[in-house]
Chains A and B, each alone.
Chain A
Amino acid sequence: MWTVVACLIPPLLLSVFVFGIQVLFITAVSVMSCVAVEAVSQKLLGRRVTVRDGSAVITGMLLAFVIPPGVSPLLPLLGAIMAIYIGKHILGGIGYNIFNPALLGRSFLLASFPVAMTSAWLPPLKNMAIFSYLGDSVNAVTTATPLAVMKEQGIAAFTELFGSGASLYGTFFLGWRPGCIGETSGFLLVLGGLYLLYRGYITWHIPVSVLGSIALLSWIFGGESYFSGDPLLAILSGGALLGAFYMANDYVTCPTNKISQLVYGVGIGILTVMIRLKGGYPEGICYAILLMNPLSPVLDGWFKPRRFAPPLGGGR
C-alpha cells in the first residue's frame, strides 16, 4: 500500500508546480479526512482500527487527484465521508466494498456540487509562481479542461487554446494543462505505474486493455469522420492514465482472473469513450469504472482459471 502512496507523490508534487500550493492543502485535507473517517467508522462499527495499512491514505490521495484544483477544501472533506464511510465501511470494510471508494466520493461531489466540480479548473502556472492562486484570485481565473473544450467548442477551438502536434503532446504528457489535481502528468503517472508493474503489485492486463480500447475507439469514432480521431490525445487529455493505472485495477473492485480483467478493461474503455463522445460529461472514465465495478464478480464467475488437468473422462 505504501508503495502506491509513494508512486502517487511525484504527480502530486508536479501538480503543485502546475496549479499552485493550494493543491497540497486540498490533498492534505482529503487524506486526513479519509484517515479520520476510517478510524471513526471502524471505532463506531466495532471493528479493528486499521488506518496504519495505508488504504485510507491511498483513497484520500486518489480522491484529491480526481477533483479540480480550485475547489473549496470542504469538498474533499465531504467526499471523504462519502468514500470511506458510505463507500467502504457501511458495506463491510476493506475487501467488501463493491465500488472504488475514491470514485464514489468523486461522483457524489459531482452530483452535489456540479458547478464547483465542473468549473473550478485552473490554467497551468508559469514561472513556478506556486502561490499566485492563494486567496481571492482563485475565482477570477477559471478555465476549461481540454476534453470540455473539445466537446463543447470543437477541435478548432481546442487547437487554438492548446496548440497541436508534437508540442501539444509534449506539454500534455508532462502535465501542463488544466485538469483534476492528479490526472495531468501522464509522464509521472506512467512512471509510477511501470514501477508498480515492475514490483509485481499490478499486472499489465487492466491498464493495457483500458488504454488500448480508449485509444482504438477514440481513433475510430473520435474524429470528424471515422478513423480520424487522435488516440494519443484521447489518452493524454483526461483522466485515462490515472484511471487505468491506479483506479481501474484497485484489487478489491476489479476482477481477479486475467481474462476477466481484460474484458473488464475493455468494458471500461468502451464506456469511457461512449460517455466522452455521446454522454453529458466531457470525461467518462470515473463513471465507466464505477459501472464496471459491480460486474467484477460476475466476470470472475464466467471466466475461471485453467485447472492443472481435467478429471478423467472430462467434465467436472
Chain B
Amino acid sequence: MISLLTFPKGGVHPPDAKAQTSELSIELMPVPDELEIILGQHIGAPCTPTVAKRGEIQEGEIIGEVKKGLGVPLHAPVAGKIKDLGMSVHPMRVSAPSITITVNHAAEPRQYQAGEWQANDPKELLARVHAAGIIGIGGAGFPTHVKLSPPPDNPIDTLLLNGAECEPYITSDHRQMLEHAAEIVEGAKIILRILGIKQCNIGIESNKPDAILAMTEAARAGSTAEYSLTVNALQVKYPQGSEKQLIQAITGRKVPAMALPSAVGVVVHNVSTARAIRDAVVFGKPLYEKVVTIAGKGIARPANLLVKVGTKIGDIVNYLGGLKPDLAKIIMGGPMMGFAVSSLDIPVTKTTSAILFLTEEEIDTTPHSPCIRCGWCLEACPMGLEPKEIAIYVEANRPEDTAQFGVFECFECGSCAYVCPAKRPLVQFVRLAKMKAKR
C-alpha cells in the first residue's frame, strides 16, 4: 500500500455524499429551446457582444470578445438566433449582462476535425487555447492562457492536474477521469508542451479508486521520453483540491502568501480544464459545454449531465423530472464553496461543476448564534487564519481592520463554517470583510 499524500495543517472531513451520482455515466442533455450566456464568465474583464440582436449564429461562432484587459472570447454553444442582449439573474451579482439565444433545433451539431499538435510551436498552441475561450473550469474561472504563460523569472518544472474533487456531492471530474482518461492525459501533454516541461503529476483523492486506476493506465500509456505523467493518490481530506494545499501535498512546496503557484515552479490545472484544452487544441473546439453533477435529495433524478453553457437550472430540472416537495436549498457548486441561488432562471456557466438540490435533512437551518470562541475554526483553517476574529470584527462594523487576521489569504473553503458549533456563516463574513478591507 502506497502512502497517501496530504497537506498537514487544518482541513475537515465532511461526509462525501458522492454515492448518489458516482456510478452514473455522463449523459448528454438535449439542448433546451433557449440559452442565456452570461458575458462575464471568467475572472477579468467581461466580454462585449460581437453579435447583433436578431442575428443568425452558428455553433462555435464567437459571440463575445474582451476588447481590453484580461479575458477570453465567448462562443455560441448552438446554432440559432440572437433573441436578446439583456440581463440574466446572477447568483452573486444579482443580475449580469447576457446574450439570449433561441436555439435552432433543425441545425446539425457541428463536426470538428482532428488536427496535429505534437510538432506545432507552443506559442501557436497557446493561441488555440485562448481562441477556444478556455478558462479554469474547476471553479475559479481564471483565463487558462494566462496561467500557461508564467512570468519568465519563475521557471516552471511541474504541472499538477487537480483531480482531487474534494467537495462533497460533486462527481463530474470523477466521471470525466473514468470515461475520458486518455483525453485528459492528452490535454496534460499539450500543456507540458506549451510550458516546455516534462513532469506532470495528477492528484486524485483515494475515495475514487476507479478513477485512480483509469488515470494511472492512461498516464502510463501516455508517458513518452518527452512527457512523464504520474498519478498521486491523495488522502480524503477537505480542501485537498485547493491549489496551495494540493501543491504542498504533492510537491511539498509552500506557495507564499498572496503569490501564485508559479512562485514555486508549479502550474495547476483541473482535469476537466485539461480535457477542454485537448478539445481546443486537437479539434479546435471552443469551450461551450460542461459536465455538471446534479445531485441532492431534492431532485427527482440525480445525474452527471453534459449541458450547453447557458442552460438554465429550470430546464435541467424539467429534464430530470422536477423537484421534490421537501427541497430546501439550491446550491450552485459544492456544498462547501458553492452559493445558494434563489431562481431557477440562473444559467449554467463555464465554471459550474454542480447544481445541488438539498432537502431539509441535508442542510442545517438553525439560526447562528454568537461566537463562543471555541477555537475550532482555527484548527480547521488550512491557511492558519483566525476566522472567528474576522467575523467578530465584521459584526462590530470594523471590516477594514481584518487584514491582520489574514482575510486576503482566505480562499473561502468553508472549513471554518463547517466546524463552527454556533453555525456562524464565517465565509460570508469573510466575503464582506474582503469587500471593505484594504489590502
Contact = CB atoms under 8 A, between A and B. Distances in A.
Nearest to B404: A316
B369 A307 contact: no
A95 B383 contact: no
B369 A95 contact: yes
A261 to B, nearest CB: 8
B369 A50 contact: yes
A307 B375 contact: no
Given A94-B372, A311-B259, A256 B383 contact: no
A315 to B, nearest CB: 10
Contacts of B374: 251, 256
A257 interface: yes
Contacts of A92: 370
B263 interface: yes
Contact of A311 (B257, B381, B384, B422): B257
B354 interface: no
Contact of B257 (A50, A95, A304, A308): A308
A294 interface: no
Contacts of B254: 308-309
B388 interface: yes
Of listed A50, A92, A309, residue having the most chain B CB within 10 A: A309
Contacts of B367: 48
B371 interface: yes
A308 B372 contact: no
Contacts of A306: 9, 384
Contacts of A311: 256-259
Counting contact residues on chain A (CB < 8 A from B), the size range is: 20 to 34
A307 B406 contact: yes
Interface in A247-271: 251-252, 254, 256-257
A256 to B, nearest CB: 3
A96 interface: yes
Interface in A200-254: 251-252, 254
Nearest to A308: B383
Contacts of A252: 372-373
Chain A interface helix/strand/loop/mixed: loop
Contacts of B422: 95
A95 B375 contact: no
Given A307-B385, A308-B384, A309-B257, A94 B370 contact: yes
A46 interface: no
A256 B409 contact: no
Chain B interface helix/strand/loop/mixed: loop
B71 interface: no
B386 interface: yes
A274 to B, nearest CB: 27
Contacts of A53: 369
A298 B381 CA distance: 21
Interface residues of B, number: 28
A280 interface: no
Interface in A275-316: 296, 304-312, 316
B244 interface: yes
Contacts of B263: 312
A315 B384 CA distance: 16
A95 B371 contact: yes
B370 A307 contact: no
Contacts of A256: 373-375, 378, 388
Of listed A48, A93, A96, A256, residue having the most chain B CB within 10 A: A256
A304 B388 CA distance: 13
Contacts of B136: none
B375 A312 contact: no
A95 B423 CA distance: 13
Nearest to B367: A48
Contacts of A305: 378, 381, 384-386
B15 to A, nearest CB: 17
B337 interface: no
A31 to B, nearest CB: 20
Interface string B330-361: 00000000000000000000000000000000
Contacts of B372: 94-95, 251-252
Contacts of B255: 309
A257 B374 CA distance: 10
B258 A308 contact: no
Nearest to B381: A305
A88 to B, nearest CB: 11
A257 B409 contact: no
B382 interface: yes
Contacts of B370: 92-96
B278 to A, nearest CB: 32
Interface string B232-264: 000000000000100000000011111100010
Nearest to B259: A312
A246 B22 CA distance: 45
A310 B257 CA distance: 5
B373 A251 contact: yes
A259 B367 CA distance: 32
A308 B9 contact: yes
Contacts of B244: 308-309
Interface string B402-414: 0000100100000
B241 to A, nearest CB: 16
Contacts of B378: 256-257, 305
B256 A309 contact: yes
A304 B381 CA distance: 13
A304 B409 contact: no
A94 B421 CA distance: 13
Of listed A50, A306, A307, A311, residue having the most chain B CB within 10 A: A307
A4 B373 CA distance: 17
Of listed A92, A94, A304, A306, residue having the most chain B CB within 10 A: A304
Given A256-B378, A256-B388, A257-B378, A307 B373 contact: no
A288 B367 CA distance: 35
A257 B385 CA distance: 11
7 nearest A-B pairs in the assembled complex, by CB-CB distance:
A256-B375, A95-B370, A311-B257, A309-B254, A251-B374, A307-B384, A308-B383
Interface of B: 9, 244, 254-259, 263, 367, 369-375, 378, 381-386, 388, 406, 409, 422
Given A256-B378, A312-B259, 15 more contacts: A95-B369, A95-B371, A95-B373, A251-B373, A252-B372, A254-B373, A257-B378, A305-B384, A306-B384, A307-B257, A308-B9, A308-B254, A308-B409, A311-B258, A316-B257
5 contacts: A95-B373, A96-B370, A308-B9, A309-B244, A312-B256
Interface of A: 48, 50, 53, 92-96, 251-252, 254, 256-257, 296, 304-312, 316
